[in-house]
Amino acid sequence: MNLTNKRIMVTGGDGFLGRYVVAELKQHEVGHLFVPGHQDYDLTQINDVIRAYEVGQPDVVIHLAAKVGGIGINREKPGEFFYDNLMMGAHLMEQARLAGVEKFVSIGTVCAYPKFTPVPFKEDDLWNGYPEETNAPYGLAKKMLLVQGQAYRQQYGFNAIYLLPVNLYGPGDNFEPQSSHVIPALIKKCVDAIKRGDSEIVAWGTGRASREFLFVEDAARAIVLATQAYDQPEPVNLGSGMEITIRNLLELIAELTGFQGKIVWDTSKPDGQPRRSLDTSRAKQAFDFQAQTDFRKGLRKTIDWYLAHQHELQFGD
């Protein structure tokens, strides 16, 4: 699909990943970009979704909007995370079909994978078990976008694709203590400890769980490549092909921020999924995507952004 002159609606386009996807799309001279801001459109409500389609009149929809967060907020609000994500996806895809949208790009989540998935995670393993309990409601709600897209393709010939990005990070990430993911949470923890002169920091879990991380600019490039070139019903992993334990991650962040104190592990808190690392071969074959950002350099950029902007950020803590 040539995106030049296409009208594209990006839900969540004012969010962390969305801002990078919008910037990437602007390089392709798209006909019109419409971002239904969350302050004007509640995408869990069907009337707001219908209004968004009437205003944006999109040829292509990239659905990034989601209620997301780390382990803590997922445990605190599982009902909200399930309902809001399920309703957004169901309404948006159904109204896209009714409006004659040419292509619908769903962004899923690595949380959709079973808790004990063989590493590296292959797309074919997606249904071989129940997700890790702390974020299962979120993961399952997002996985319904895959089911809906495949069902609509089968019955209506609707062109829906489903992408599964691993944990994202980068400049502009969410550093709010109550809802942030692991990298911004640990960066803030180290920076705050240095500022206060603390001799130690406390981290959740054992540190033995592993994660894979994808730099947000790489993720945005992958999403636009898939929008242009991928038209199949099978889901596609988006990752970097690296894996690091949370313990090693925190040690690296401590080094890059300059925190030299002690790290204490609070083993009463959950680790989440034991391991996360994706098989990224399908993305390479299907639309020639490979991550390009070195992890250490990506972390450095993220830390530098936070140091430059921390005084502008308003937190409820």
Give Dmax over CA atoms of the chain in angstroms.
Answer: 61
Q: Is 152 a catalytic residue?
A: no
Nearest to 11 by CA among 283, 313, 40: 40
Tell me the C-alpha distance between 38 and 280, whole Å. 32
Rg of the chain on CA atoms, in Å: 19
Q: Which of 138, 152, 162, 230 is catalytic?
A: 138
Query: Is the four-CA dihedral 179, 181, 184, 190 of positive or negative sign?
Result: positive
Place of tokens 């948006």: 92
The answer to whether the peptide bond before residue 165 is cis (omega within 30 degrees of 0) is no
Active site residues: 138
